[in-house]
Amino acid sequence: MADNALDGALLRAEAVSAGYGKMEILHGVSLAVRPGEMVSVIGPNGAGKSTAFKTIVGLLHPRAGRILFDGREITGLRPDQVLRLGLAYVPQGRIVFPQMTVLENLEMGAYIEPDPARVREALDRVYALFPILDERKRQKAGTMSGGEQQMVAIARALMTTPKLILLDEPSLGLSPKFVTLIFEKLTEMKRAGYTMMVVEQNAAKALSVADRGYVLELGRNRFEGTGPSLLADPEVKRLYLGG
């Protein structure tokens, strides 16, 4: 990636190709995130957005290219190894442990942290960001609404105090009220100093809160730029924003 402005990137995926079986989905995709940034990745269905995230966190093995995180190469590492380096991942689909309480779900997120005092500190930070989870900590996660479950899933990823959080479709399938709330929470997280990369179907909303964005199409980089510049780009508007 030639962009010198990204020299200090916390995460850099360089010319990554990956797929499932014989089917290649990503064809040399490059993405980067600097510390403190919120970067949105948008594009039509089948563009390879989720595949890119799965490859970065080690759920898929890249066929070409390399992935660098926090100054070291993580290409091909397992997801548990990547997590221990400070890279958290919130998959799409609001995955919670339904029979466990909210508190138990959050504690599961901190399973790699041996120090109980640090787990308590992480809980305090998460509850400050998501007060409703403090109120509902004894409630079984499976009895909550979709939007509340998504908050549990995001909060659980924060329990390891990650250096970077990848969020795959955090607003997918939520009511309009909860879509707005989730984007408010992402903005709050950014203000609190979290670094994030977000895959989103809701392209206009995703770019409106992002420092920078990437548009993927058919497994390749199509456009990249600041959130405002992509929102204002007539071609991006016409192709992806319904404008």
Q: How confident is the model at residue 189 (pLDDT cuts 50, 70, 90)?
A: very high
CA distance 96 to 43: 27
The helix or strand, by DSSP H or E, that contains position 181, with its residue range, turns out to be: helix 176-191
Residues whose CB is less than 8 angstroms from the CB of residue 7 and which lie 6 or more positions away in sequence, other chains included: none
Alpha-carbon torsion 75, 80, 86, 88, what sign? positive
Q: What pLDDT was estimated at residue 243?
A: 61
Mean pLDDT, rounded, for 157-172: 95
Q: pTM of the full predicted structure?
A: 0.92
Which domains does the chain show, CATH number per domain?
4-240 (3.40.50.300)
pLDDT at position 26 over 60: yes
Q: How confident is the model at residue 3 (pLDDT cuts 50, 70, 90)?
A: very low
pLDDT digits (tens, 9 = 90+) for 94-139: 889 999 999 999 999 998 888 899 999 999 999 999 999 999 999 9
Instruction: Of 218, 214, 219, 220, give the one whose Cα is nearest residue 236.
Output: 214
